[in-house]
Structure 1
Amino acid sequence: MDPQHILCWRLAPLFLFMPCGFHCVSVHIINEEPVHVIPGSNLVLKAQIKQEPQEEVSMVTWEREPETGAAPVRVTLATCPGRGLGCAGSRPNVHADAEQQETTLQINKYSREDGGVYGVTVTDRTGASTTAHCIVREYEAVHHVSLSINMSHSSLVCGEAWGTDPSFSWLYERAAITRAVGEISKDGSTLVLNMAPICGDFTCVVSNKLGYSSASYSAGPCEKEGRGMMAAVVCLVFLLLLFGGAVAFLLWRRYRNNHRGERLQEHLDDTI
């Protein structure tokens, strides 16, 4: 038999009896990153712990440090010493618990100072540890909505400064967008125009859980068919009135001349 295969067979039993804390215990925060929290609400982070049946968790620690900074200071939020034992929070509004395969951290009445990089460290009975991290930020309201037109692509682009999870909606002349006006992109931020020429008032509304803001763009008034028809009718009526007035004036003048001739003839007859 190949000497390398003999060596592998001799080492295999050793790996079976070695403590697997170095590679068997793992932890993963299941919250989608980054986590945005509305000030005043509760922050809840959950993490899954994976381990072999023979492994035992001896310590779970939750910590936080600033997301930016040259020398970030790490703060311990809660510790859970061993399975089945209670967890101790560093502040009254900090609570934690640890089970065999899950650990949870809850911070009540979240404030801006609670933002940062959160870490959960799981330590096994051999002293080996593994850590998972998650970024937590404040949920921002919608601010500074802007609306611009791209003439080369016949589109309107709506922008928003820093709001969390912005949702876009569009209005044309204070009504919902139809296919005759344009089509909205998948992310909602762009309106590709189908109408020609481009005219009327467009509005982009951006909203999230904390409110909304809007911006408008005016492309000038549209010349509608009804308005042109009305102008034609007014013009026709004016011409008819003008023509009628002219005819009436001519008839009146003719009547006046005829009446004057009759009176003159009567006057001459009386003189003779």
Structure 2
Amino acid sequence: MDLQYFLCWRVAPLFFLMPCGLQSMSVHILSEQPVHVIPGSRLVLKARIELGPLEEVSMVTWEREPETGIAPVRVRLATCAGRSLKCAGTRPTVDVNTEQQETTLQINRYSREDGGVYAVTVTDHTGATTTAHCIVREYEAVHHVSVSINVSHSSLVCGEAWGTDPSFSWLYERAAITTTVGKISNDGTTLVVTMTPICGHFTCMVSNKLGYNTATYTAAPCEGRGTTAAVVCLVLLLLVAGVLAFLLWRKHRHNNRGERLHEHLDDTI
């Protein structure tokens, strides 16, 4: 029996004797990334800690560093240490709470300076560490909405500069889009115009939690609408003229009857 075969048979049983849960610990931040926060509101980050049966958390630290820069400086925000994992923040607006399988960081009155890359580091009783990261950015309002036309596809495309979570909607002549006017894409950015010819005013409205902004594409005037408006105005003018003529005729007739009655009385006397 050669040496390699002998060692294989000697070492293999050791793997079956090892506990199934000896995998190294890990930590995961639960928030979807990047996290956008409105200035003045509250930032809350939660992280899940996965431990093996023989592992125990001895320290948790939360830190932050700028998202960009040549040599970003990492700032410690909070530390939880000891068997009870007692936590302490480095400033009054920072609160942190940690258990064996979860840690939560909360920053009150979030400001622009609080943006960056957040890191949570977990240390076990042997000194081994694992780290998870999360990008946090300021929630931006909607800016610079524009509408352009794709003539070859008979469609209007709405664009927006850098707002967070923009939501797109369309109006035609200040009313909601109907199937006779066009069809809106699933993301709301494109309006495929089905009416022919393309005429009137098309407005794209982009909104988020901080407000909205609009842009309007003005096509050629709709001929049918202009003719209809002219006809309506002419009818109204004719009605007004007819009413005035009737009132004048009635007044004139009343005056004539008064004069004839007066003459008849004079002749009788």
- TM-score tier, shorter chain, comes to 0.7 to 0.9
- 2:144 matched to 1:144? yes
Change (3 A) 1:136 1:226: closer
Change (3 A) 1:221 1:14: same
Aligned residues: 229
Correspondences of 1:99-178 after superposition (within 5 Å): 99-178=99-178
Q: Secondary structure at the match of 2:12?
A: helix
- In 1, Cα distance between equivalents of 2:152 and 2:101: 57
**In the TM superposition, what is the alpha-carbon distance from 1:196 to its structure 2 partner?**
1.1
**In the TM superposition, what is the alpha-carbon distance from 1:224 to its structure 2 partner?**
1.3
**In the TM superposition, what is the alpha-carbon distance from 1:4 to its structure 2 partner?**
5.6
Would you say the 8 A contact 1:83–1:99 is kept in 2? no
- Over residues 51-107 of structure 1, what are the superposed CA-to-partner deviations in whole Å (9 max), with x where a residue is unaligned? 022211000000000000010000000000034232110110001010111000000
Correspondences of 1:49-128 after superposition (within 5 Å): 49-128=49-128
Change (3 A) 1:196 1:56: same
**In the TM superposition, what is the alpha-carbon distance from 1:108 to its structure 2 partner?**
0.3
- Over residues 125-144 of structure 1, what are the superposed CA-to-partner deviations in whole Å (9 max), with x where a residue is unaligned? 00000000000000000010
The corresponding residue for 1:3 is: 6
Using the TM superposition, name which of 23-32 and 200-209 deviates more.
Answer: 23-32
The corresponding residue for 1:242 is: none
TM-score (norm 1): 0.79
Q: Percent identity?
A: 70
- In 1, Cα distance between equivalents of 2:196 and 2:94: 59
TM-score (norm 2): 0.80
5+ long unaligned stretches in structure 1: 235-272
Q: Secondary structure at the match of 2:9?
A: helix
The letter for the 2-side match of 1:75 is V
The corresponding residue for 1:268 is: none
Change (3 A) 1:16 1:85: closer
Change (3 A) 1:87 1:225: closer
The letter for the 2-side match of 1:116 is G
Q: Which runs of 4+ in 1 moved over 6 A?
A: 228-231
- In 2, Cα distance between equivalents of 1:46 and 1:226: 60
**In the TM superposition, what is the alpha-carbon distance from 1:163 to its structure 2 partner?**
0.2
Q: Secondary structure at the match of 1:224?
A: helix
The letter for the 1-side match of 2:219 is A
**In the TM superposition, what is the alpha-carbon distance from 1:230 to its structure 2 partner?**
6.5
Structure showing greater Rg:
1
The corresponding residue for 1:208 is: 208
- In 2, Cα distance between equivalents of 1:83 and 1:203: 61
Change (3 A) 1:225 1:79: closer
5+ long unaligned stretches in structure 2: 235-269
Correspondences of 1:24-35 after superposition (within 5 Å): 24-35=24-35
Would you say the 8 A contact 2:58–2:81 is kept in 1? yes
- In 2, Cα distance between equivalents of 1:221 and 1:144: 26
